Amino acid sequence: MRLVIKYGGTSISATKDIQAIAKQINSLSKKHQIVVVCSATSGTTDDLIEISESIKKENKSKAEQLASKITNRHKQLAKQSIKKSDLQKKLLRKLDEDFSELLALIDGMVLLGEVTARSMDYLISFGERLSIKLISAAINDSGKKSIPLTGKEVGIITDSNFGESKPLMDTTRLRVSKTVDDLFSKKTVPVVGGFAGADQHGHVTTFGRGGSDYSATTIGSCMKADEIWLMSDVDGLMTADPKIVKNAKLLKEVSYIEAVEMAMFGAKQIHPRTFEPLLSKKIPMKIRNSFNVKNEGTLVTVSPSASVKNTVKCVSNVQNNGLIDIRGGSMVGTPGTAAKIFETLAKSGINVMMISQNPSESSITIVVKNTDLDKAVSALEMELLGKIIKKLEITTNVAIIALIGSGMRGTVGVASRVFGAIEKNKINVSMITQGSSELNLAFVVKNSDTSAAVRALHDAFELDKIN
């Protein structure tokens, strides 16, 4: 098989795990052709983002301190994980070279006194530059040939939308498949840095937080992989957050479209565009736990087997959001009202998570993250209050509860079962949405009602009996 195996940060942040992964890749590569994709080690991307904050505050020494902290963490792991001394020495030298480049970059950014989207992407791509060297060296150390490649080096070419870039698939396909096939013919395992590529001018671009999943599926599609495995620290997709529901079950199989819905909400966060590259090629994906490889995890396919097709799959929750109810008589029957509201929010860079408008058109309700709430409210106040908007009503600390699964489609009585269960628990619902795909029924409750609401739905749909 041709396989892409992607490791999340927590899977590659301890010596014993790095060594275990190297051994596993070594043995799998006897039977399969493998491309490894890595995230940055735990906390590294956050530290790099903090460096950018320090630069903005003109605190150069703090930025440099953080850079040393990141480098030392990787050097420490290198010393503990790599046994052959020549390999270890070479790796430490490479890590030092990256460190020098990182310091030079910090210097440049401080000198200019600004953090642009472009310099930011270059900066935060360093996490994966370091992690791939470590993992590739560990695979070498286990006796299997391997080389580290950044997204740019493997051939991922993107548009120039820094921070949120997209691969230009035709060019990328040609380059990636050539790089990978050359290495396969030399029996070498490529270890590719996730999260980043480069635009046509060679400037490093990133895909947005969590983007290594997207790298894995992009590469998988380019090399016509038979399967893609996303390895992290959870067993797979679950029927609910196991911290809330004790008898939550692992989902053995879900469809792409269900997985897309779950990706946004679930305990295993998956980059929202991850599934895009798989759709046309219909490549199956497995979500697995690198700490529990005996477990097969969750299979995500285009056509799940009949027995799992028509079921409700899970109830998920996202807490700590704010609800904004936007009202105004002049909104009624005025084309363009919604456009103005969403344009105002978009200009301030606010992501809207949920939207509903009642048919009387006198109010539009939206949900945003708590952390975006201030910015959203002040943007709406400044631009639209007193014009098309009369009043804003705000509720903080609300949770979105979502029931997900293709089994809801065309099934009569789902909503009554949902709200019947909620009512029994005396929970107040302040907003409801269901798209016409009927894959996802979502509603909003107070944060403090989250657990009760999730448990009530998990019970009502007997999700503990799913497999």
Per CB under 6 A, the segment of 18-26, 38-46, 142-150, 233-241 that binds ligand ASP is 38-46
Least distance CB 269 / Mg ion (angstroms)? 8
Q: Give the span between the Cα atoms of 175 and 150, in whole angstroms.
A: 13
Distance of CA 425 to the CA centre of its chain: 33
Does 212 contact ligand ASP by CB under 6 A?
A: yes
Strand 285-289 versus strand 227-232 pairing type: parallel
Among 29, 33, 39, 406, binds ligand ASP (CB under 6 A): 39
Q: Name the β-bridge partners of 391.
A: 327
Report how far residue 192's alpha carbon sits from residue 149's, in angstroms, rounded to the nearest whole number: 5
Q: Which is nearer to ligand ASP, 122 or 195 (CB)?
A: 195
Q: What is the DSSP string of 33-100?
A: EEEEEE-PPTTHHHHHHHHHHHHHTT-HHHHHHHHHHHHHHHHHHHHHH--SHHHHHHHHHHHHHHHH
Q: Provide, rounded to whole angstroms, the least separation between the CB of residue 240 and Mg ion.
A: 22
Q: Which does 155 bind (CB under 5 to 8 A by kind): ligand ASP, Mg ion, none?
A: none
Q: How far apart are CA 251 and CA 19, in angstroms?
A: 29
Q: Which helix (H) or strand (E) holds 286?
A: strand 285-289
Closest distance between ligand ASP and the C-beta of residue 263, in Å? 13
Residue 175: CB minimum distance to Mg ion, A:
24
Burial class (CB in 10 A: 0-12, 13-18, 19+), 61: exposed
- Tokens 């290198």 correspond to 78
User: What's the min distance (Å) between Cβ of 209 and ligand ASP?
Assistant: 4
Residue 41 or 365 with smaller CB distance to Mg ion: 41
**Of residues 127 and 328, the one with the C-beta less far from Mg ion:** 127
Closer residue to ligand ASP (CB): 225 or 270: 270
Piece of 209-217, 250-258, 273-281, 432-440 that binds ligand ASP (CB under 6 A) = 209-217
Single-letter residue type at 197: G
Question: Of the ranges 16-24, 205-213, 229-237, 260-268, which one interacts with ligand ASP (CB under 6 A)?
Answer: 205-213
Which residues are near Mg ion by CB under 5 A? Answer: 8-9, 39
Partner from Mg ion, ligand ASP, none contacting 195, C-beta within 5 to 8 A by type: ligand ASP
**In the complex, what is the shortest distance from the CB of residue 44 to Mg ion, in angstroms, rounded to a whole number?**
10
Nearer to ligand ASP, 213 or 261 (CB): 213
**Cα first-last separation, the chain:** 28
What one-character-per-residue DSSP string does 140-203 give? HHTT--EEEE-HHHHT-EE-S-TTS--B-HHHHHHHHHHHHHHHHHTT-EEEEE-SEEEETTS-
Measured from the CB atom, is 121 or 372 closer to ligand ASP? 121
Please choose which of ligand ASP, Mg ion, none residue 323 contacts, taking the beta carbon within 5 to 8 angstroms, the exact cut-off set by kind: none
Q: Which stretch binds ligand ASP (CB under 6 A): 89-97, 141-149, 210-218, 394-402?
A: 210-218
Q: Does 317 bind ligand ASP (CB under 6 A)?
A: no
Answer yes or no: are the C-beta atoms of 127 and 41 closer than 8 Å. yes
Q: Which two tokens stand for residue 256?
A: 């792409």
CA dist 131 and 13 (Å) reads: 9
Q: Nearest approach, Cβ of 404 to ligand ASP (angstroms)?
A: 23
What distance in Å separates the CA atoms of residue 44 and residue 42, rounded to the nearest whole number?
6
Both tokens of residue 461?
């749909």
Task: Give the length of the chain.
Answer: 467
Give the interface segment with ligand ASP, choosing from 67-75, 207-215, 302-310, 414-422 (CB under 6 A): 207-215
What value, to the nearest 5°, has the Cα angle with vertex 256 and ends 365 and 177?
120
Q: Are 22 and 11 in contact (CB under 8 A)?
A: no
Pick one of Mg ion, ligand ASP, none as the site partner of residue 405 (Cβ within 5 to 8 A by kind): none
Size of the site for ligand ASP (CB under 6 A): 11
Query: Per-residue x/- mask for ligand ASP, residues 104 to 143, rule CB under 6 A?
Result: -----------------------x----------------
Specify the residue, 88 or 206, whose C-beta has the smaller distance to ligand ASP: 206
Smaller CB separation from ligand ASP, 40 or 259: 40
Nearest CB to ligand ASP, comparing residues 84 and 209: 209
Q: Which residue of this chain has its Cβ atom nearest to ligand ASP in the complex? A: 212
- Residues of the shown chain interacting with ligand ASP in the complex, contacts defined by CB under 6 A: 9, 39-40, 45, 127, 194-195, 209-212
